[in-house]
């Protein structure tokens, strides 16, 4: 008998090899065991193009309505991708669109596996990246100048101020970024809450020595929110410190971990990949978007694995790592079970995570992990083999619970 999931999870499909993995995971590891209502949106690049990207907005609205979403990796098209897929235009990042709509903060945390030690030998505990999920270059206005021009920033308010950006003598480019006081404050509060829940120290980093107004505003608001929770942080043993971003990057390499590192949008994008690689692989990093009103969207921190997809299209097998995508599903299931009060859903998700870890720790690994295993593993497996082994381990953990239904 399948476990009943009480309320819907919003499923956002994606692109390329990530999409292939996504469907394998759903068909092999989710649907055989769960009676789950899924509200489905195809966020593949062709679907977004055909709907003028309105499907992304509709998906974000659905996540807000139902409270929990799970997302496959998607393409953010550049000029090359526009040509490759014959798109109408270079659509914005769907992640940025969803983040802006939900006004959330992204938390990325490595998946610790015993036989895949961190490349940074000092790292013993998880380093969590808290990424501000609104504004900056992801919601910027940009313009390419093909002739001399004088560019000004005009502020239409009671002062009606005009600021000279630059007087261009020739060609150039300009970029106008913005952020919101309410979003920055939500970001700070979310990071404080997450640090308290994980009982880890909290860092925030920016570059206020250079960007005295823009970055300085972030620093000021973060400090205000920390001061409001000072006694609570002290009781929990959670220490807060502000560091310049370059200092934080240097200090993190010397740290043992056990830190939530809060970063602005662009820096969080970069540092989450750096930390993932430092812990072994981009395939071993979870990601969750948390909104101020308690809405959650889970996804893998990696991209669409483009190179593997081209091999897949040729009919070749690939050794793509599905771990982070599986953990996106389990994260969403655990949160859905928690919100619905269905403990059996939470327990299933935990067993699926354990099945993945048991698979890797038994020496059944994908190619990306092979150089980093200790003890060394001589042979890697292909994607379909890995998922089959996870299913076998899941069946062992579930025992007689399902009466043999859905067995591999």
What tens digit of pLDDT does each residue of 200-248 get? 999 999 999 999 999 999 999 999 999 999 999 999 999 999 999 999 9
Q: For position 198, what pLDDT does the model report?
A: 87
> So what's the pLDDT on residue 103?
84
d(CA 90, CA 94): 11
Average pLDDT over residues 318-347: 97
* Contact in structure between 129 and 107 (CB atoms under 8 Å): yes
Residue-wise pLDDT tens digits, 167-211: 999 999 999 999 999 999 999 999 999 899 889 999 999 999 999
Which H or E element spans position 231? Answer: helix 230-236
Spell out where 177-228 has E strands: 201-206
- What's the pLDDT score for residue 197? 84
Can you give the pLDDT at residue 404? 47
For the segment 157-163, the average pLDDT, to the nearest whole number, is: 94
Confidence of residue 134 (pLDDT cuts 50, 70, 90): confident
The whole-number average pLDDT for the span 271-282 is 86
- The H-assigned helical ranges of 279-381 are 306-313, 323-340, 343-361
Would you say 169 and 204 are in contact if contact means Cβ atoms under 8 Å apart?
Answer: no
Per-residue pLDDT, averaged over 264-274, amounts to: 92
For residues 253-292, one letter each, b for 16 or more C-beta atoms within 10 angstroms of the residue's C-beta and e for the rest, the string is: eebebebbbbbbbebbbebbbebbbbbbbbbbbbbbbbbb
CATH 3.20.20.80 for the 1-116+293-408 domain, yes or no = no
- In the chain, residues under CATH classification 3.40.1010 are 117-134+180-279
Q: Report whether pLDDT(401) > 60.
A: no
Q: What is the dihedral of CA 278, 281, 284, 288, to 10 degrees?
A: 70
CB atoms within 10 A of CB 12: 28
What pLDDT does residue 407 have? 44
Q: In this predicted structure, what is the pLDDT of residue 356?
A: 98
Nearest 5 degrees, angle CA 191-CA 195-CA 201?
A: 115
Which CATH architecture fits 117-134+180-279? 3-Layer(aba) Sandwich (3.40)
Residue 370: how many other CB atoms lie within 10 Å: 16
Share of the chain above pLDDT 90, in %: 87
The residue among 305, 292, 252, 291 whose CA lies nearest residue 110 is 252
Q: Given a cut of 90, is residue 332 above it in pLDDT? A: yes
DSSP H/E element including 100: helix 94-102
Q: How far apart are CA 188 and CA 219, in angstroms?
A: 10
State the pLDDT confidence band at 139, using cuts at 50, 70 and 90. Answer: confident
Q: Please give the Cα distance from 141 to 264 (Å, whole number).
A: 18
Q: Rg of the chain over CA atoms, in angstroms?
A: 22
Cα 325 to Cα 304: distance, rounded to the nearest angstrom? 11
State pLDDT tens for residues 65-106: 999 999 999 999 999 999 999 999 999 999 989 988 998 899
| pLDDT at 400 (0 to 100) | 53
Averaged pLDDT for residues 331-346: 97
Cα–Cα distances in angstroms (integers) from residue 133 to residues 28, 96, 104, 139, in the given order: 32, 7, 6, 10
Cis peptide before 375 (omega within 30 of 0): yes
Summarize pLDDT for 342-389 with one digit per residue, the tens: 999 999 999 999 999 999 999 999 999 999 999 999 999 999 999 999
- Listed in order, the ranges of the chain carrying CATH 3.40.718.10 are 1-116+293-408
As a whole number of angstroms, the distance between CA 70 and CA 332 comes to 6
């Amino acid at each position: 008998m399948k476990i009943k999931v009480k309320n819907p999870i919003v499923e956002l499909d994606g692109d390329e090899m990530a999409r292939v993995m996504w469907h394998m995971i759903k068909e092999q590891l989710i649907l055989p065991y769960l009676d789950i209502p899924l509200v489905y949106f195809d966020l593949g690049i062709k679907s977004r193009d055909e709907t003028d990207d309105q499907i992304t907005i509709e998906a974000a609205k659905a996540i807000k309505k139902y409270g929990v979403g799970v997302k496959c990796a998607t393409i953010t098209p550049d000029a090359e991708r526009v040509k490759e897929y014959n798109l109408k235009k270079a659509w914005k990042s769907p992640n940025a669109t969803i983040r802006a709509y939900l006004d959330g903060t992204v938390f990325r945390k490595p998946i610790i596996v015993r036989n895949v030690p961190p490349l940074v030998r000092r790292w013993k505990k998880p380093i969590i990246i808290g990424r501000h999920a609104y504004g900056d270059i992801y919601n910027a206005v940009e313009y390419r100048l093909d002739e001399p021009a004088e560019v000004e920033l005009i502020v239409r308010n009671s002062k009606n101020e005009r600021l000279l950006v630059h007087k261009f003598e020739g060609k150039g480019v300009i970029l106008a970024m913005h952020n919101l006081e309410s979003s920055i404050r939500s970001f700070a509060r979310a990071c404080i809450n997450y640090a308290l829940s994980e009982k880890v120290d909290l860092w925030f980093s920016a570059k206020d020595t250079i960007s005295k107004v823009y970055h300085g505003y972030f620093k000021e608001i973060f400090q205000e929110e920390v001061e409001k929770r000072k006694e609570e942080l002290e009781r929990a043993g959670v220490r807060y410190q502000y560091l310049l971003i370059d200092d934080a990057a240097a200090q993190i390499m010397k740290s043992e971990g056990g830190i939530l590192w809060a970063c602005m949008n662009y820096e969080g994008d970069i540092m989450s990949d750096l930390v993932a690689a430092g812990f072994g692989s981009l395939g071993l990093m979870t990601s969750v978007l948390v909104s101020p009103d308690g809405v959650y969207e889970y996804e893998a921190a990696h991209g669409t694995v483009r190179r593997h997809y081209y091999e897949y299209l040729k009919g070749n097998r690939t050794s793509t790592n599905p771990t982070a995508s599986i953990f996106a599903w389990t994260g969403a299931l655990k949160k859905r079970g928690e919100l619905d009060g269905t403990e059996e859903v939470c327990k299933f998700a935990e067993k699926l995570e354990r099945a993945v870890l048991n698979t890797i720790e038994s020496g059944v690994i994908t190619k990306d992990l092979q150089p980093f295993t200790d003890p060394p593993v001589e042979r890697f497996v292909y994607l379909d083999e890995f998922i089959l082994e996870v299913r076998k381990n899941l069946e062992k953990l579930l025992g007689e619970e399902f009466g043999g239904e859905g067995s591999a």
